[in-house]
Amino acid sequence: MTLTLANGPLAARAPSTTNYEVTGPAHKLLLTDFPRRVRATFGGQVLLDTRAAKLLHESNLLPALYVPEDDIDQRLLEPTDHTTHCPFKGDASYWTVRVGDRVAENAMWAYPEPIAEAEWLRGHRALYFDRMDAWFDEDERIEGHLRDPYHRVDVRRTSRHVVVRCGDTILAESTRPMLLSETGLPNRYYLPADDVRGDLLVSSTTTSVCPYKGEANYWSFRDGDRTIADVAWGYHQPLDEAARVADHRCFASSDDITVEVDGEPVR
């Protein structure tokens, strides 16, 4: 994510504040080694088990994992007639994964004859992350998608004055938030639960998963007959890198919500 999104060097619009120039097409590809063992399971079977995976960093996209064909259980695959064309990689072929009655159609793809600029993809295949039952990075199950080694999360204590409003109503105010900086994203301020108007927030059924922070829960604003869905989120049991924001609440500015830091509105 660091390399391909926002101001990363492989983004379509790389930053100008450099003393070098990245030449080549606006849409760039970079293949790097993934440093750990990766496994994917489906229907109780191990579809792939590899210590030689590659990450394809592609402008404006999340990295994709490519695995040597020898590390894939070919007995679980059925070739299909589905094809797609990428002007930067070539024509892709697809395979359906089948285990008993379980089927994941066109879940795996590869470039059997990649164009010259992506020749190093030959002999490798990729797999839609969300079509599998489980993924493992070494022996730890992962959610969301595989982590990018160039992506990081930092959490720092700060005394900045953060005020969250919905119209004229103050939802939260704190001078002891945690500031979470995440690659390619704006800084987020996580406020202690005691500094948030709990009487105006109700638990939502919405959840989301971040491979760098963990599973998030959401809260909606409710005041009388007025409800605004999912204005705040937080992590009850965040992953190690975000452990310091456990049981804090975060808000993002929107049409309904205003977040001010030291008197200045932020997005």
CA distance 87 to 64: 17
State pTM to two decimals. Answer: 0.84
Least confident of 24-38, 91-105, 156-170, 252-266: 24-38
In contact, 50 and 71? CB cutoff 8 Å = yes
What pLDDT, on the 0 to 100 scale, is given for residue 4? 77
Q: Is the pLDDT of residue 13 over 80?
A: no
Q: Is the pLDDT of residue 1 over 70?
A: no
Domains of the chain listed by start with CATH number? 37-48+65-133 (2.170.150.40), 153-266 (2.170.150.40)
**Token pair 């070098």 is at which residue?**
20
Mean pLDDT score, 136-151: 90
CA distance 252 to 257: 7
Q: Name the residue among 235, 238, 204 with its Cα closest to residue 221.
A: 204
List Cβ neighbours of 239 (8 Å cut-off, separation of 6 or more).
Answer: 212, 213, 214
Amino acid at site 37 = R
Q: Is the pLDDT of residue 109 over 60?
A: yes
What pLDDT, on the 0 to 100 scale, is given for residue 8? 74
What pLDDT, on the 0 to 100 scale, is given for residue 12? 72
Q: Is the pLDDT of residue 37 over 80?
A: yes
List Cβ neighbours of 178 (8 Å cut-off, separation of 6 or more).
Answer: 155, 156, 157, 158, 189, 190, 244, 245, 248
Walk across the sheet containing 102-110 and list its strands. 29-33, 54-58, 64-68, 124-127, 102-110, 90-99, 77-86
Q: How far is CA 77 from CA 74, 159, 161, 191, in A?
A: 5, 55, 56, 48
Q: Is the pLDDT of residue 24 over 90?
A: no
According to DSSP, residue 195 is labeled G
Mean pLDDT score, 41-60: 96
**Token pair 């007639």 is at which residue?**
81
Residue 41: beta bridge partners? 46, 134
131 pLDDT tier (thresholds 50, 70, 90): very high
User: Could you write out the DSSP letters of every residue in 41-95?
Assistant: EETTEEEEEESS-EEEEETTS--EEEEEGGGB-GGGEEEEEEEEEETTTEEEEEE
HSE-CB at 94 with a 13 A cutoff on CA atoms is 12
